[in-house]
Each structure stands twice: as C-alpha cells, then as structure tokens.
C-alpha cells in the first residue's frame, strides 16, 4: 500500500475504510491529515475485505482505526511485542483443516 496524505472519519469518530461507500453522503465524512502517531490500540472487531480481514482497533480516546490483514501481518512480523490472546481453548476440525478456538462451556445437569 502507498502512504496516505489524508484519511476520513465518520460522525461516530470511526476511520472510514472505503470512501466509495459514502459517495452519496460525502459531507458526513471528516477529512483528517494522515500524521503518524503512537498509541496502544485494542482490537475491538473484525470485518471482511473481499477475501481478507479488517481489524478494528480502538485507542484510549474511543477513536476507531481500521487495519487490513496485510498491514497486521507486517506488524506481527516486525515487532517483538507479539499479540496475546487469552481464553479456554479447544481443538476443532472441518475436513482437512484444523484450528483452535474458544472451548464450549459444558452445561451441568
């Protein structure tokens, strides 16, 4: 990807991933200069991007940013910090594919 000169947020203070979705209501978007910043961001959601994934990241002020899967891979590959996920895990299979995921809560009778 190329570096951006500007980016847009909507009225809910969320970074807009694709401005073409807002063509009819472009006046709702607020243009901001794309100035590099340092922040601790919390992953608050995931979305679909064609065949990829978008990560929604929120800062301590409640501003939500969007990061695509290629940028997240670059972040993981180039930092020593790592990303930690914590939970009770179980193993899952669909055909020849295997994964871990959250363990199902067993109901007690």
pLDDT in tens, 99-109: 988 998 765 54
Domain span at residue 81 reads 6-102
| % of the chain residues with pLDDT over 90 | 39
pTM of the model: 0.77
Q: Does residue 31 register a pLDDT over 70?
A: yes
Strands (E), the chain: 6-9, 30-33, 42-49, 52-58, 64-68, 89-94, 97-102
- Residue 107 inside a domain? The answer is no
* Overall number of domains in the chain: 1
Q: Is 92 inside any structural domain?
A: yes
Alpha-carbon span 60 to 44, nearest angstrom: 12
């Amino acid at each position: 990807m190329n570096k951006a000169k500007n980016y847009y947020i909507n009225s809910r203070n969320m970074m807009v991933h694709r401005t073409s979705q807002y063509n009819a209501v472009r006046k709702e978007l607020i243009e901001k200069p794309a100035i590099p910043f340092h922040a601790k961001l919390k992953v608050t959601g995931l979305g679909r991007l064609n065949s990829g994934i978008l990560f929604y990241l929120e800062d301590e002020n409640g501003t939500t940013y969007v990061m695509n899967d290629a940028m997240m891979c670059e972040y993981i590959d180039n930092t020593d910090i790592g990303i930690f996920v914590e939970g009770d895990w179980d193993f899952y299979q669909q055909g020849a594919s295997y994964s871990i995921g959250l363990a199902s809560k067993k109901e007690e009778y």
